[in-house]
Structure 1
Amino acid sequence: MALGLTSVPEPSWIELDAHYPAHLAERAKLLAHRRTEVLAAISGSEAMQAELLETLADHLCRHHPAWFSRRGSALDNHLLNETMVLDEDPLGCTGRLVQEDFCLLREEEPNRLVLIAAILCFPSRWRLSSKMGSPLGAIHTPVPMYRNKLERPVDRFLGALKAGRIAQRLNWSIMDDATLFQPTGHGVNDFECAVTAENAGETLVMRVERQTFRRLPRTGGIAFGIRVHVTALASIVAVPGEAARLLAAVRALPPEMERYKSMLPFRDALFTYLGRIA
């Protein structure tokens, strides 16, 4: 359990890859049919929402000019052949522009950040509705060791984050479900599991969150970005040496973290599978 922060140059803030069309189609569907589950905001967050969208639109047009261009309040998305009006529904527009989700955090008092708005189409087993308006410490209460090892470093880092700087960290889990929209599932270990040492490579996935942090200069809020990558385990262990590294990392997980990540039903099959390859 460590922050593991690295700096990110401005051009690398947003990740666009070959999954962009499929991911954006899924995000549009979620916003159309499950909007209250993936988008939430409290009163007073409007200026921060607008600044996030403006910052994002400027970034895309500046660093990906072949794919995004601006005409006044209209943004042309040449990847999807769509035009978006930016002065309407800022969180919804943000969710339909990039693969990243965003949580907006406001400093209520020194080193106390509160979640005030979010577009969260691809949650990693948590519900937006249960966290809105809560400080970071309370949001992470279910995470083992967060309070003792990460809460103070996180609060100090975000409190000192300067506008113009972008930082990132990575968070990973092994799951038996490749679904991007997963609002539930943490700490559930009593489910029937069809994973075996023989099929683990095809049925298990590594889900990685690339988390980014930047301060919005006008409103002072923190834009916390979450970009989810889901990769079949077989693809990862095909890289020489990765099976042994992953096996060591999984073995090092404390029991409470294994339970939190819902790994117990397939833990033994995973160990056997990785051990054979390693």
Structure 2
Amino acid sequence: MSDDPLPFLDGPWRLSMGLRRLEPDDWLRVDDAHDAQMRLRDRLLAERRAEVAAALPGSEAGCAETLALLLEFLPERFPERWTRDGQVMVDRRNGRRVALDGEPPLVIAGRLVQEDLCLMRKGPDGYELSAAVLCFPSHWRLAEKLGRPMAGIHAPVPAFGERLGPTVDRFMAGLDADRPVWRVNWSITETDELFLPGDRAQRAFDPAEPVGSGLFLRLERQTLRRLPQSGDILFTIHTSVRPLGDAIVRPDHAAALAARIREMPERMSRYKGFHLMGMPLLAWLDRLAAAQVRVAAPG
């Protein structure tokens, strides 16, 4: 799990971009899940390539620029792990070797990092998803989003079009190459699987099931940066998942998460699945939050 602050601690729930300035050295992450995630990425690219990788004509320059950027960044930022040996990138920690030829550039790039890579290219209706290596989708399919503008990509998100869509379009149009940004998206899921291309499972959560082990906190650390040569925007997604009981151990964190869930409009709550898991989840969070009150109360 990332060391970034939990996003639901920031105050009342609101539909916003929640962007922060990105420090150049903090662009991409390597965490304890690195080796396991890279094995899964390699397997998905071998067995389900059509589902996890795609590129439209016209995206070639941005894809090549993305790979070139990674080949410069990784050995410089993580010299203890990455080194280049001719046309091969070598992971010093585990001996894994990634050939730098023989596959499309963005696919090669997707074998080098834990992050999913999505390339946004300017089109007639704003920035469109022109290419991606998407191994860890959270309830969306690459084939259904490829070539669509931001409004189309986020159409299932309640109120996105009327409340956030114009803001996102203006931001994308004005993003400077020297001012990358990041944000964190969060969700509660019923599985720790990373590859979730289908719709959210519509099943009622069993109140008898232990919430702390039966539900998971999924965090997506997302970055956006304009590629200076092609002008495309590279969107990266670093995904981490852990049991909710491991992620939420402090009473004040439990209270904050419960508050954010209760503050969501009904449409957003249903979109995130809280209409199914909400009652047992909130009861568990309230019990954990109440522990702080008991400790603080006079004896």
Q: Out of 118, 137, 145, which is 2:159 matched to?
A: 145
Unaligned runs of 5+ in 1: none
1:35-184 to 2 correspondences below 5 Å: 35-89=49-103, 90-109=105-124, 112-184=126-198
Is the 1:195–1:203 contact (alpha carbons within 8 Å) kept by the matching residues of 2?
no
> What one-letter code is carried by the residue in structure 2 that aligns with 1:270?
L
**Residue-by-residue CA offset, 1:146-201 (whole Å, 9 max, x unaligned):** 11221111111111111122201111111111110000124x53x253354x6001
C-alpha distance in structure 1 between counterparts of 2:54 and 2:199, whole Å = 21
Instruction: Work out which of the residue numbers 285, 294, 298 in structure 2 matches 1:274.
Output: 285
1:246 equivalenced with 2:257 (yes/no)? yes
Amino acid paired to 1:274: L
Distance in 2, matches of 1:79 and 1:232, equals 27
Counterpart residue type for residue 250 of structure 2: V
- Segments ≥4 residues shifted beyond 6 Å: none
Distance 1:203 1:69, change over 3 A: same
Contact 2:204 2:277 in 1 (8 A): no
Pair 50,80 (structure 1): closer, same or farther in 2 beyond 3 Å:
farther
Residues of 1 paired with 2:244 and 2:46: CA distance?
A: 32
Structure 2 equivalent of residue 34 of structure 1: 48
Q: Conserved in 1, the CA contact under 8 Å of 2:251 and 2:288?
A: no
Count of aligned pairs between the two proteins: 274
2:273 corresponds, among 246, 262, 275, to: 262
1:193 aligned onto 2:177: no
Contact 2:98 2:111 in 1 (8 A): no
Gaps of 5+ in 2: 1-14, 290-299
Native 8 Å contact 1:53 1:86 kept in 2: no
Q: How does 1:198-217 map to 2 (within 5 A)?
A: 199-217=210-228
Q: Which residue of 2 aligns with 1:14?
A: 28
- Measured in 1, the distance between the counterparts of 2:110 and 2:73 equals 15
2:246 to 231, 235, 238: 235
Aligned-partner residue type, residue 252 of structure 1: E
Cα distance in structure 2, aligned partners of 1:259 and 1:38: 27
- Per-residue deviation, residues 98-157 of structure 1 (Å, max 9, x unmatched): 110011000124x71011100000000000000111111111111011112211111111
Q: Which residue of the other structure, out of 3, 6, 18, is the alignment partner of 1:4?
A: 18
Provide, for residues 54-103 of structure 1, a one-character-per-residue CA deviation record: whole Å limited to 9, x for no partner.
Answer: 10121101111121112343322223312323243212212211110011
Residue range with higher mean Cα deviation, 38-47 or 88-97? 88-97
For normalisation by structure 2, the TM-score amounts to: 0.88
